[in-house]
């Protein structure tokens, strides 16, 4: 492995998990599909946990949920539900 390829792998590991990077750098991040991580769950303010699908299951609350929870790890894992692609 060359120094440049090692540096590239480190950059990919550090940055391609972020929704704004992987959608802007599709080829570099090897991001071909706009999908949610089915295994991901996040904690709500009340302590309950939900998956990505919860964000969009109730149409009347969809916009509120997306605005409230689609940041940080949630938007990185729930790319499709958060509309980040």
Encode pLDDT of 10-35 as tens digits: 888 888 888 788 777 767 777 666 88
- For the chain, the average pLDDT equals 86
DSSP-assigned letters across all residues of 6-59: HHHHHHHHHHTTSHHHHHHSTTTTT-----B-TT-EEE-TTS-EEETTHHHHST
pLDDT of residue 44: 95
User: Whole-angstrom distance between the N-terminal and C-terminal Cα of the chain?
Assistant: 32
83 in the Ramachandran plot: left (φ > 0), alpha (ψ -120 to 50) or beta? left
């Amino acid at each position: 492995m060359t120094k440049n390829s090692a540096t590239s792998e480190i950059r990919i590991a550090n940055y391609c998990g972020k929704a704004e990077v992987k959608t802007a750098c599709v080829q570099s991040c090897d991001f071909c599909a706009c999908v949610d991580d089915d295994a991901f769950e996040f904690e709500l303010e009340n302590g309950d946990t939900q998956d990505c699908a919860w964000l969009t299951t109730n149409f009347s609350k969809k916009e509120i949920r997306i605005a409230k929870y689609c940041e940080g790890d949630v938007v990185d894992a729930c790319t499709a539900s958060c509309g980040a692609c």
